[in-house]
Chains A and B, each alone.
Chain A
Amino acid sequence: MPVTTDSATEHSSAETVLSIRDLSVALPKGADRALAVEDVSYDVNRGEIMCVVGESGSGKSMAANTVMGLLPKGVHPVQGEVNFLGQNVITLPEKQHRALRGLKIGMIFQEPMTALNPLMRVGAQIAEVFEAHGQLTPKQRQERALELLIEVGIPQPEKAISAYPFELSGGQRQRVMIAMALALEPVLLIADEPTTALDVTTQAQILELIRDLQRRRGMAVMFITHDFGVVAEVANRVCVMRHGKIVEIGEAKDVLENPQNPYTKALIAAIPSNAVPPHRETSQVAPLLEIKQLNKVFRSRGGWFKSAREVRALDDISLTLARGETMGIVGESGSGKSTLGRCVVRLEHPDSGELLLDGVNLSQLKGDALRRERHRVQMIFQDPYASLNPRTRVGMAIAQGPMANGTPKAAALKQAGELLDLVGLGASAVERFPHEFSGGQRQRIGIARALALNPELIVADEAVSALDVSIQAQVLELLEELKQRLSLSLLFITHDLRVAAQICDRIVVMQHGRIVEQGSAEQIFLHPKEAYTQSLLDAIPGRQAPVAATA
């Protein structure tokens, strides 16, 4: 047992808890590169938050997984040391390694729903951590669980302790995860994208909590993220990774304000600008889309022993969108913004209200009549992996729309090639299958598919949320360019105000199925009228922090 190291930590605040030296981790044969991480060295000190930043595939989580012994099958370290409190965990036998986990190292994951056992009460799950390490009596465990829940700031902790995970919100579940990770007072806390799945306001609260707990307990925190905004909020030191190598490492302030490496510069520049959106001239011509008093209620069928539940997803929504305008619909999860988008493209049938597209009421059309009008409004979907049929060639996927509307196959395929050229993929992509493309490229295919029918209006539902920042910037640029060139109208649905600020002329803020505020992007950012809008703006990570090169 490393008791000596533990007691020796008291006197020095900058004592190194985790020291990674020349670590290389090999990927299984046939992967896109030989090494997941190559020659990576960094320290995590007591009392600091070390942020490891990188885009997907950068190997940012690999070191953390090595520390925890959570490397996937076939992935194994081939060189270097990972010293935790003076012990090299790579060579540690599994039994001793297991003793470290939970006891000395705590971990928080990205998805709080899947990281918690859905059939176990929250209190029991926290108590299980003590049980696994043979600590305390069952009664004491429950008491500690309650203390921990109070410490992580769960509302009504006495109730929460006997709740099941599904009864809690995403943010509350993440707090439970943090409570579990902290249960045994670990020396090191590893947080792997802990706020990525959360809403902005919740994210701000969780970041605040992690910072606060870290200060109070003097832990070392290894914080893995893809978001430089989050880095600006929490980091003491930053390590930027790309393709498995460290690109830049240093004090957070230095890296953010004065990045040395071009890649870091590009990443920071690619953060959707924190600056006020530029003033845009909106020519208010005849409205293209008029939404009048749109309502949609979701009802879950009640069973014998439970009553039916009603959720008002859209509550009396009215708005107009001018031709050639980009309107942002911004809201947190459950705000009804996606339902609005799905009603506009008529994937959802609104309960009441009117959807006038150029004077034609789409909301009441059915069957074949609806099918014939569908080409006028198209959609770009969120998940570039789910939105393309894995067994359909890309060209065919794009050509299917025009073919369904009567264009001959050869002409439709030719047009598909031109569209792929237009979105920057090249006409040769026609013959390939979706799995041969990366996420950003697939999103371009999705855009080409939406354009194939020459729609008047495109609804983009979280179209860039699943993409890395640098890719996000490229796709936004493409959308902007296409919009100008083809004079499209765009309904841009997003949870991210930063993204909305970049592309939208006007912004509508939604909460609980209602419109809270609407106005020009400039107005919303500079002079928000409603408290909710203000709180959304305040919650944007890195907004107050100094960030260099906001282009």
Chain B
Amino acid sequence: MSFFARFAQNRGALIGLIILLLIIVMAILAPLLFPESPWRMVQRPFLPPLSQEGFLLGTDTMGRNVAAGLMHGAWVSLLIGLVSTSVALLIGVPLGAIAGYYGGLVDDFLMRFTEFFQTIPNFALAIVLVAIMQPSITSIVLAIALVSWPPVARLVRAEFMSLRHREYVEAARLVGQTNSTIILRQILPNTLSPIIVLASLMVATAILLESALSFLGLGDPNVMSWGYMIGAARTVIRQAWWLSFFPGVAILLTVLALNLVGEGLDDALNPKLSRER
């Protein structure tokens, strides 16, 4: 069975994938549908949804178009989720691989280093980092990556530790392959499925973290994001429910979709497990 056919067997994963594609389409279409900056005030404030032509989701406290914000925000959220996860993988995978493969003192040193990051609460560290570096897309991405790599390192290390004594790895050592070839060609491909699954969940967490940072006012002041929209609307939540409701639903759907896709990937990448369903 092909990879996609196995993936599609999981109904939830398929739905997740469709939602995710819609969000991506939203992000791509945003500059076409709303060429103007989402920060521009275009109508009178507190316009409820569906009350005026062209303002499907109404306007916010300053008279900015909520629909425009939502679509531009999709781009920011996805970008931050994907980039920060990639950065976290770039840090976590090599560290975990080296620690797990070599073991001993190397492992001890790298794991103490990892624990140093793990002992500080994620969100507190992210706030401090963003505050020090000045809020901007780059600093937010970096902060999220820096707080989310330790689980990756731990996972990869555990996988490497269990795989490095497999007979096929020993066979590779016996034929004279170098350590780097063994790590990259023999072991890493066999750890990919848990890494991919974890990564899909990390994208979701990153989006949530960014939203939380923006909610606290630590978002990039130049880009519209879902978290910022909710944060800005929290004082008027009783007068204008739609201001926090739509971005909230957007975050919920995105995270849900990513989780579903992650689960589907897990099934598809572990053919043994999914066959038992």
Q: Please report A residues at the B interface, Cβ cutoff 8 Å.
A: 30, 73, 345, 347, 371-372, 374-375, 377-379, 381-383, 386-392, 397, 400-401, 404-405, 446, 449, 452-453
Is B124 part of the contact surface with A, judged by Cβ < 8 Å?
no
Contact status B170-A381, CB under 8 Å: yes
Is B189 part of the contact surface with A, judged by Cβ < 8 Å?
yes
Which residues of A lie under 8 Å from residue B181 when comparing CB positions? 404
19 further contact pairs, Cβ within 8 A, besides A345-B174, A379-B171, A405-B175: A347-B170, A347-B174, A371-B176, A375-B176, A378-B175, A379-B174, A381-B170, A382-B167, A386-B168, A387-B167, A389-B189, A389-B190, A390-B190, A392-B186, A400-B177, A404-B176, A404-B177, A404-B178, A453-B175
Contact status A387-B178, CB under 8 Å: no
A376 closest partner in B (C-beta): B176
Contact status A387-B172, CB under 8 Å: no
Contact status B176-A387, CB under 8 Å: no
The complex places the Cα of A392 from the Cα of B169 at a distance, in Å, of 12
Is B166 part of the contact surface with A, judged by Cβ < 8 Å?
yes
Is B40 part of the contact surface with A, judged by Cβ < 8 Å?
no
- In chain B, residues 154-208, which have Cβ atoms closer than 8 Å to a Cβ of chain A? 166-178, 181, 185-186, 189-190
The complex places the Cα of A372 from the Cα of B177 at a distance, in Å, of 9
Counting chain A CB atoms within 10 Å of each CB, the highest count among B172, B174, B175, B275 belongs to: B175
Which residues of A lie under 8 Å from residue B177 when comparing CB positions? 400-401, 404
Contact status A386-B175, CB under 8 Å: no
Contact status B178-A371, CB under 8 Å: yes
The complex places the Cα of A259 from the Cα of B131 at a distance, in Å, of 85
Contact status B176-A381, CB under 8 Å: no
A73, A377, A400, A446: the one contacting B172 at CB < 8 Å is A400
Which residues of A lie under 8 Å from residue B174 when comparing CB positions? 345, 347, 374, 377-379
The binding surface of chain A is classed by DSSP as loop
The complex places the Cα of A393 from the Cα of B236 at a distance, in Å, of 61
- The smallest beta-carbon distance between A441 and chain B, in angstroms, is 16
A374, A383, A452: the one contacting B167 at CB < 8 Å is A383
A–B Cβ pairs within 8 angstroms, 23 of them: A30-B275, A345-B174, A371-B178, A374-B173, A374-B174, A374-B176, A377-B174, A378-B175, A379-B174, A381-B170, A382-B167, A386-B168, A388-B168, A389-B169, A389-B186, A389-B189, A389-B190, A391-B189, A392-B168, A392-B185, A397-B168, A400-B172, A449-B175
The complex places the Cα of A453 from the Cα of B170 at a distance, in Å, of 15
Number of residue pairs spanning A and B whose beta carbons lie under 8 angstroms apart: 67
Task: Using known A-B contacts A382-B167, A387-B168, A389-B186, determine if residue A401 contacts B173 with beta carbons closer than 8 Å.
Answer: no
Contact status B175-A375, CB under 8 Å: yes
- The smallest beta-carbon distance between B203 and chain A, in angstroms, is 25
Which residues of A lie under 8 Å from residue B170 when comparing CB positions? 347, 379, 381
Contact status B167-A381, CB under 8 Å: yes
The complex places the Cα of A372 from the Cα of B178 at a distance, in Å, of 10
The complex places the Cα of A59 from the Cα of B167 at a distance, in Å, of 29
Which residues of A lie under 8 Å from residue B175 when comparing CB positions? 374-375, 378, 400-401, 404-405, 449, 452-453
Contact status A401-B176, CB under 8 Å: yes
- The smallest beta-carbon distance between B70 and chain A, in angstroms, is 42
Counting chain A CB atoms within 10 Å of each CB, the highest count among B168, B169, B185, B275 belongs to: B168
The complex places the Cα of A230 from the Cα of B170 at a distance, in Å, of 34
User: Can you list the 6 inter-chain pairs with the closest CB atoms, starting with the nearest?
Assistant: A401-B175, A387-B167, A374-B176, A389-B168, A381-B167, A404-B177
Which residues of B lie under 8 Å from residue A378 when comparing CB positions? 174-175
A73, A383, A391, A446: the one contacting B190 at CB < 8 Å is A391
The complex places the Cα of A449 from the Cα of B176 at a distance, in Å, of 12
Which residues of A lie under 8 Å from residue B169 when comparing CB positions? 389
A398 closest partner in B (C-beta): B175
The complex places the Cα of A401 from the Cα of B185 at a distance, in Å, of 13
The complex places the Cα of A453 from the Cα of B175 at a distance, in Å, of 7
B190 closest partner in A (C-beta): A391
The complex places the Cα of A379 from the Cα of B168 at a distance, in Å, of 11
The complex places the Cα of A390 from the Cα of B171 at a distance, in Å, of 13
A74 closest partner in B (C-beta): B276
Which residues of B lie under 8 Å from residue A375 when comparing CB positions? 175-176
Contact status B171-A381, CB under 8 Å: yes
Contact status A347-B176, CB under 8 Å: no
Counting chain A CB atoms within 10 Å of each CB, the highest count among B167, B172, B178, B190 belongs to: B167
The complex places the Cα of A80 from the Cα of B167 at a distance, in Å, of 44
Contact status B176-A386, CB under 8 Å: no
The complex places the Cα of A419 from the Cα of B170 at a distance, in Å, of 21
- The smallest beta-carbon distance between B161 and chain A, in angstroms, is 16
Counting chain A CB atoms within 10 Å of each CB, the highest count among B167, B176, B178, B189 belongs to: B176
The complex places the Cα of A330 from the Cα of B257 at a distance, in Å, of 58
The complex places the Cα of A203 from the Cα of B170 at a distance, in Å, of 31
The complex places the Cα of A347 from the Cα of B170 at a distance, in Å, of 7
Which residues of B lie under 8 Å from residue A405 when comparing CB positions? 175-176
- The smallest beta-carbon distance between B119 and chain A, in angstroms, is 23
Which residues of B lie under 8 Å from residue A387 when comparing CB positions? 167-168, 171
Which residues of A lie under 8 Å from residue B171 when comparing CB positions? 379, 381, 387, 446, 449
B169 closest partner in A (C-beta): A389
The complex places the Cα of A446 from the Cα of B169 at a distance, in Å, of 13
- The smallest beta-carbon distance between A389 and chain B, in angstroms, is 4
Which residues of A lie under 8 Å from residue B185 when comparing CB positions? 392, 400
The complex places the Cα of A73 from the Cα of B177 at a distance, in Å, of 43
B170 closest partner in A (C-beta): A347
Contact status B176-A372, CB under 8 Å: yes
B167 closest partner in A (C-beta): A387
- The smallest beta-carbon distance between B165 and chain A, in angstroms, is 10
The complex places the Cα of A449 from the Cα of B177 at a distance, in Å, of 13
